[in-house]
Amino acid sequence: MYQTRYHRPGSVAEAAELLSKAEDGRYVAGGHTLIPTMKHRLAGPSDLVDLSRLSELKGISEKGGTVTIGAATTHYEVASSDAVRKAIPALAALAGMIGDPAVRNRGTIGGSLANNDPGADYPAAVLGLGATIHTDKRKIEADDFFTGLFTTALEEGEIIVKVSFPVPKKAAYEKFHSAASRYALTGVFVASAKDGAVRVAVTGAGANGVFRAADIEKALSGKASSDAIDAVSIDPSGLLSDIHGSAEYRANLVKVMAKRAVDAIG
Amino acid sequence: MANDGIGASVPRKEDRRFTTGQGTYTGDVNLAGQLHAVFVRSPHAHAHIKSVDLSEASKMPGVVAIHTGEELEAGGINHLICGWAITSKNGSGMRMGPYPPLAIGKVRFVGQPIVAVVARSRDQAEDAAEAVQIDYETLPAVTNPVDALKPDAPAIHEFEADSSVWEHGRAPSNLIFDWELGDAAATDNAIKSAKHVVKIDLVNNRVVPSAMEARAVVADYRSSDGHFTLWNTTQNPHLLRVVLSAFINVAPEHKLRIIAPDVGGGFGSKIFTYSEEVVCLWAAKQAGKPVKWVSGRNEAFLTDAHGRDHVTTAEIAFDDDYRMLGLKVDTIANLGGYMSLFASLIPTYLYAPLLSGQYVIPNIHVNVRAVYTNTVPVDAVRGAGRPEATYVLERLIEKAARELGVDRAELRRKNFVREFPYQTPVLWKYDSGNYDGLLTKALAASKWDDFEARKAEAAKRGKLRGIGLSCYIEACGVAPSSAEGGALGAGVGVWEMAEIKVNPVGTVEVLVGTLGHGQGHETTYAQIAADRFGIPIDSVSVIEGDTDKVQQGMGTYGSRTAGNGTSAVYRALDKIEAKAKKIAAHLLEASEEDITIANGEFSVSGTDRKVTLTDVSLAAYTFHKLPKDIEPGLDEKAYFDPTDLTYPAGAFVCEVEIDPATGTTEVVQFTAVDDFGNVINPMIVEGQVHGGVMHGLGQALLEEAKYDPGSGQLIAGSYMDYCMPRAHDLPKSFDHAFQKTPTPNNPLGLKGCGEAGAIGSPPAIINAITDALGTEDISMPATPEKIWRALQSAGQNA
Ligand SMILES: Cc1cc2nc3c(=O)[nH]c(=O)nc-3n(C[C@H](O)[C@H](O)[C@H](O)COP(=O)(O)OP(=O)(O)OC[C@H]3O[C@@H](n4cnc5c(N)ncnc54)[C@H](O)[C@@H]3O)c2cc1C
């Protein structure tokens, strides 16, 4: 690891200030993506600004059909939250499928979204539920947030403060684990909103990261049953191909996982 | 105290230490003033080193020294060795390319160390290592062993032409040896005249050993008398000492103390002598300070010797009654960029002789071509050669049964060896066994006959269920010096040594030259000593892994400890017993022949006169009461050199369910019946089987050390990409049973158990998958995608 300076700010504003002054600073939350990268000397930030203890970024609440989760909330806290389990059980279940207990007890929703790993789970829920990302500067709709592999709409120094999820009528997440890493080789989040609209978000499979499966959404808008998906054909050309799975295989998984998610919703 | 003795499932003495953080591993050893070594490693698979510029690096903070291959060479340090000589069938010796501990002039695999930077802290050493400037001229690389033999393959090492033996005077450039075993003409004839011939093409996938503790070195040097101490993650400290001193010349044997403290797994990878030990010893001497190196996990992927990596074609012939007539096997074995310590042994004598399996096959011929590629050196990994052989034979037989339309269990049964000792046509002579008994037990325990009902039930749930069988043979305790070892090319005699000390107060210390690294030796050996005297195992300590304490030894690998280590202990106990009885007889004024031992007491049979072990040991040291013909003390040493190998065997049945939509395989039931001869601690032995089967399951379903063929980069170079089995991959149900056919080859009748699970399980698992799919066209690891594709091409996808 390269030498780095560690800062523990007392507020979001102070954090942003510290980062803006740093030569090549990075925020750190759970550190479960950033620290391993630093250990391998693939990243060498001059300064680390720790967001994980900021009370402004902590906590889970449910009000008026919206679940709001602070950016520094750990995966474990989301998975075990009574409020989330009751309002959006699929979201709690998804958080419980991330990594292993060590990862879940350190990793945060804000870190996961800012990092936007193509195999990460949260992006599927955020996009599938049509959540809103609140930063220290603005609100960003899920559909505008994820802009490509490991890239987001966040600007330099912008901090995710919280994420608000509209409570759906029903939702389910089906994850096919990548065998080695346990990230999603393909994960499909299906949500049917209170107004009846169906959103289907796919993580792990897209060559540009998480995406909405428009054809499946269309098929399900007519008939919310898994059979409706049979007729959909998923074009592998926009999908990832790597040592863990070819695009053709991922295309198959998109359909299989989508069907299972629809079946799980019942 | 019979509860602690031979045959009892005593909980492992060492586990409290391991599970409460009180183990001491090499990484835990920190000496005053210690420096840290970091290695600059090749980023290229194959390149000339045009220049090395250390000027920046040597100015970096904390840097004490930077070492190069040229410097070591000038200092008289020799190259790493391969300790087993194999001769090609045309009589020429194996072609061993020079393997300097730090590369000189050329690099041949990604990760090969070139420069060692020694600094006051690890971070400083890493910073300086980054500042080392190396200019490379990259060369085309080859990673696949079949490609390496092609005429246009890049030549990895340079060898002299030899017109007397090779066609056109030249061997294929990357060929190490072209070796054979068995009668080629007779086998060809048997196949030609046979009624049925079945053929298979297989790849045995390359694996990374993945011990939980990565390798580590702490080297200390005392200039006043030129004495070295080396703490090291090694499976065989004494052998390492011989290699480092006699061959590599980095320290004299009598001034080199090697300590293997607690060692956290090895699976073979810690048998070998690696560059890092050599360089740290050298660096400690130059700096006059201790030098430490602890491998990162990424370094472990790139430097711990890998395993397997065979490409094989095999044919088996049967007569019209389905009796085996002949087996012909042609294998290309990838040995990586250099020959590691036992690299040549694994695909030859640990492989080819095992191809007779449990069967009477009158004619066998095996041809093995070993090749260099631009990959990490390949050497022993759990099973080492025997899993590869078992995979060939057991897949081929299963395929034959299906092709010929005969029952797979009966096809095996018909051909079993039934009389022992059995001389195979490929060197080995099986000691004892009852293969029929194993199969019968395994079929019954797995409810083989009711399988169709389970398959039908699974089909209702949309699952494809399959069942597979594997009858494995294993050969433990490689290279007894008195048997074939020397004649077959072994550079060492693989005996074992133990010393027993009975202390004045009657407690017992067992010092033995094997090296437990997770197998429970401290418990097993203690049970043997406790059993002899009828004392609790808490009165027995076991000491391994320090060349200053344990006088000699050959270490732990090849499932050799049960056969050899325990036998040395047993022999030493014989000597102790004889002397103790003599002393007891004197104390009891009786004759030695009348003394019996039980519950820690020596009694005169037929009387109530007795003395305790403590009385005897105290008398041995407070000597005044003893007659002149008895020497003081109660400690004895013994060597055991086995007359032959031991041959455990087993029958495994695996049942899988496949989800046709995703291709995911679940092992729903695994049945293992093993014959390890007698068993000291059944719980420990079962644990070895569980671990071994999981190891094999990893190879069968998950693990693959995949290289990018163009660049020669190891693309599965971390656990994010290389999949180890996890707890949830365990078979849903796991049945284990013993059959006990003791070996006559050692006093306790033990055969060895550490590798069996990894040897027998891969073909059982794959045979279950091919059974479920109805195609033979599945390679390891049988990933969900491969299975899904097989189903796609069979048009069966749900
Ligand atoms: C072994 C392992 C397994 C894993 N398995 C999974 C898995 O199955 N599924 C999955 O989804 N993930 C998985 N992860 C990733 C894990 O969930 C990470 O914790 C997560 O992706 C990043 O969150 P973090 O809090 O650790 O972020 P950090 O590592 O601290 O930071 C990551 C990046 O986000 C930035 N950042 C952090 N917080 C904020 C914020 N509030 N605002 C703006 N930028 C911010 C940082 O500057 C940094 O660039 C795994 C990780 C490991 C180590």
Phi-psi region of B479 (alpha: psi -120 to 50; beta: other; left: phi over 0): left
| CB distance B666 to B656 below 8 Å | yes
Provide, as residue numbers in chain B, all residues whose Cβ is less than 8 Å from the Cβ of A245.
785
A183 lines ligand 1 (CB under 6 A): yes
Q: Do A142 and A154 reside in the same domain of the chain?
A: yes
pLDDT of res. B166: 81
Cα of A182 from ligand 1 centre, angstroms? 14
| A255 pLDDT above the threshold of 90 | yes
Average pLDDT for B776-796: 93
Residue B468 is predicted with a pLDDT of 98
| CATH number of the domain enclosing A9 | 3.30.43.10
List b or e across A77-107, with b for residues whose CB sees 16 or more CB atoms inside 10 angstroms: bbbebebbbebbebbbbbbebbbeeebbebb
User: Residue A176 and residue B646: Cα distance in Å, rounded?
Assistant: 45
Q: Is the pTM of this model over 0.95?
A: yes
Which of B123, B702, B789 is nearest residue A179 as measured by Cβ atoms? B702
CA distance B502 to B573: 10
Ligand 1 centre to CA of A111 (Å) is 4
Residue type, B22: Q
> Any residues with CB less than 8 A from the CB of B760 and at least 6 apart, and which?
B390, B470, B471, B472, B474, B650, B652, B672, B693, B696
Q: Over range B290-294, report the average pLDDT.
A: 98
The pLDDT value recorded for residue A10 is: 97
* Owning domain of residue A11: 5-50
Q: At what angle do helices B386-404 and B756-773 cross, to 10 degrees?
A: 30
Same domain, yes or no: A160 and A176 = no
- Tell me: the pLDDT tens digits for B560-599? 898 899 999 999 999 999 999 999 999 999 999 999 999 9
**Of A50, A65, A85, which marks where a domain is finished?**
A50
Residue B729 near chain A (CB below 8 Å): no
Residue A119: the pLDDT is 97
Q: Is B3 helix (H, G, I), strand (E, B) or coil?
A: helix
CB of A157 shorter than 6 A to ligand 1: no
Establish whether this prediction's ipTM goes over 0.85: yes
Question: Which two tokens mark B370?
Answer: 């070993």
Closest residue in B to A259 (Cα–Cα): B661
Residue B4: pLDDT band by 50, 70, 90 thresholds?
confident
- Name the band, by pLDDT with cuts 50, 70 and 90, for residue A222: confident
pLDDT at residue number B798: 43
- Tens digit of each residue's pLDDT (9 = 90 or more) over A86-117: 999 999 999 999 999 999 999 999 999 999 99
B364 close to B424: Cβ distance less than 8 angstroms: yes
B783 shares contact with chain A (CB less than 8 Å):
yes
Kindly report the number of other CB atoms within 10 A of residue A63's CB atom.
9
Best residue for ligand 1 mutational test, from A115, A159, A175 (most atoms within 8 Å of Cβ):
A115
CB contact under 8 A, A179 and B130: no
Q: How far is the CA of A72 from the centre of ligand 1 (A)?
A: 10
Residue of A nearest to B721 (CA): A180
My answer on whether A25 and A118 are in the same domain is no
With an 8 Å Cβ cutoff, the interface of chain A facing chain B consists of: 1-3, 40-41, 176, 179-181, 243-246, 249, 252-253, 256
The answer, yes or no, to whether the previous bond of B781 is cis (omega within 30 of 0) is yes
Chain A contact set for B721 (CB, 8 A):
180-181, 243-244
Average pLDDT over residues B744-752: 94
Residue B451 CA to residue B186 CA, distance in Å, equals 40
Are residues A135 and A33 part of one domain?
no
Residue B261's pLDDT band, with cuts at 50, 70 and 90, is very high
Whether the pLDDT of residue B759 is over 50: the answer is yes
Q: What percent of chain B has pLDDT over 70?
A: 98
Q: Are residues A12 and A91 in the same domain?
A: no
Helix H or strand E encompassing B411: helix B408-415
- Token output for A114: 């800012």
The CATH number of the domain where A115 resides is what? 3.30.465.10
- Whether B706 and chain A come into contact, CB under 8 Å, resolves to yes
What does the pLDDT read at residue B488?
79
Is the C-beta atom of A96 inside 6 A of ligand 1? no
Provide the pLDDT for residue B1. 44
Surface-to-core class of residue B474, CB atoms within 10 Å of its CB (0-12 exposed, 13-18 middle, 19+ buried): buried
Ligand 1 near A78 CB (within 6 A) = no
Report all structural domains of chain B as residue ranges with CATH numbers, in order of start: 310-479+644-797 (3.30.365.10), 495-640 (3.30.365.10)
User: In which band, very low, low, confident or very high, does the pLDDT at B794 lie, cut at 50, 70 and 90?
Assistant: confident
A177, A257: one domain: yes
Which residue has a Cα nearest atom 45 of ligand 1? A111
Ligand 1 neighbour A32 (Cβ under 6 A) = yes
pLDDT of residue B275: 98
> Of A144, A166, A188, which one is at a domain's C-terminal end?
A166
Q: Which helix (H) or strand (E) holds B117?
A: strand B113-119
Neighboring chain A residues of B298 at a CB cutoff of 8 Å: 40
Q: Give the separation between CA B748 and CA A77, rounded to whole angstroms.
A: 56
Q: Where does a domain end: A35, A50, A65?
A: A50
Q: What is the DSSP string of B322-368?
A: --EEEEEEEEEEE--SS--TTTTTTTTTTTGGGGGTTB--SEEEEEE
- Which residue of A2, A3, A180 is in closest CB contact with B720? A180
Q: Mean pLDDT across chain B, nearest whole number?
A: 95
Q: Is B514 in contact with B522 (CB distance < 8 Å)?
A: no
Let me know whether A144 and A217 are in one domain: no
Burial label for B47, CB within 10 Å (0-12, 13-18, 19+), is buried
pLDDT average, residue stretch B414-423: 97
Report the number of distinct structural domains present in chain A. 3
Tokens of B211: 């011990």
| pLDDT confidence of residue B316 | 98
Output the domain CATH number for residue A199. 3.30.390.50
pLDDT digits (tens, 9 = 90+) for A112-149: 999 999 999 999 999 999 999 999 999 999 999 999 99
Predicted pLDDT of residue B795 = 78
Which residue's alpha carbon is at the smallest distance from atom 16 of ligand 1?
A107
- Which residues in A lie closer than 8 A to residue B722 (C-beta atoms)? 180
Instruction: For residues A174 and A261, state if they share a domain.
Output: yes
Q: Does B123 touch chain A (CB under 8 A)?
A: yes
Do A217 and A244 sit in the same domain of this protein? yes
pLDDT of the residue at B480: 63
Mutational pocket test of ligand 1: of A24, A33, A48, the residue with most ligand atoms within 8 Å of the beta carbon: A33
What SS3 state is found at B301? helix
Predicted pLDDT at B479: 65
Q: How far apart are CA B23 and CA A53, in angstroms?
A: 35
CA–centroid distance, A108 to ligand 1, in Å, is 6
Closest to B617 in 3D by CA, of B593, B581, B590, B589? B581
pLDDT at B483: 53
CA angle B161, B166, B171 (to 5 degrees): 65
Chain B residues in contact with A41 by the CB 8 A cut-off are 126, 130
Is B484's pLDDT higher than 60? no
- CA separation, residue B467 to residues A56, A115, B558, B771 (Å): 57, 44, 29, 6
CB proximity under 8 Å: B 646-685 to A: 661-662
Same domain? For A176 and A258 the reply is: yes
Residue of A32, A54, A97, A160 with the most ligand 1 atoms within 8 Å of its CB, for mutation: A32
- Chain segment B633-684, per-residue pLDDT in tens: 999 999 999 888 999 999 999 999 999 999 999 999 999 999 999 999 999 9
User: Looking at residue B538, what DSSP letter applies?
Assistant: G
Residue the block writes with tokens 């120094």 = A157
Same domain, A194 and A208: yes
Lowest-confidence pick of B73-87, B317-331, B467-481, B505-519? B467-481
**Lowest-pLDDT choice from B37-51, B91-105, B159-173, B708-722:** B159-173
- C-alpha angle with apex B675: B671 to B676, nearest 5 degrees? 120
Task: State the DSSP H helix or E strand holding residue A66, giving kind and residue range, or none if neither.
Answer: strand A66-70
Alpha carbon distance A216, A128 (integer Å): 12
Note the residue count of chain A.
Answer: 266
pLDDT above 70 (res B293): yes
For ligand 1, the distance from its centroid to the CA atom of residue B298, given in whole angstroms, is 21
Tokens 């032409």 sit on residue: B161
Reported as a pLDDT band with limits 50, 70 and 90, residue B452 is very high
